[in-house]
Amino acid sequence: MRSSPPAPEQSPVTTAARLPRITRLLALAVRFEGLLQEGTVRDYADLARLGGVSRARITQIMSLRGRVSRTWGRRSIVRGWCGC
């Protein structure tokens, strides 16, 4: 009887590539927020220079986090998920 070959392990890069783009952008926003709070970068302009993108793009990415927080906050209150 022939045994099947072991399943290849997925690297973090392969797994991340399968995540929806919005998920990756939100994770990036969380990371950026951490860098700002730690003082590793001074402002959005530093993030933009490091990432090779415009300051406007950094602002767009960072605003996603606020939008999601507000949306989930409303949903949790409406559906009674807030645990209050």
Residue 41 has what DSSP assignment? S
Q: In this structure, is residue 2 part of a structural domain?
A: no
Q: In this structure, is residue 12 part of a structural domain?
A: no
Structural domain total, the chain: 1
How far, CA to CA in Å, does 48 sit from each of 26, 34, 45, 82? 16, 15, 5, 35
Q: In this structure, is residue 48 part of a structural domain?
A: yes
User: Residue 71 is part of which domain span?
Assistant: 18-77
Q: Tokens at residue 3, please?
A: 């045994």
Q: In this structure, is residue 59 part of a structural domain?
A: yes
- Nearest residue to 58 via CA among 31, 40, 18, 39: 31
Q: In this structure, is residue 51 part of a structural domain?
A: yes
**Strand, helix or coil for residue 14:** helix
Q: In this structure, is residue 82 part of a structural domain?
A: no
pTM of the model: 0.63
Q: In this structure, is residue 72 part of a structural domain?
A: yes
- Local confidence pLDDT in tens for the 84 residues of the chain: 566 666 556 656 555 568 899 889 999 999 999 999 999 999 999 999 999 999 999 999 999 888 877 776 655 545 554 444
Q: In this structure, is residue 22 part of a structural domain?
A: yes
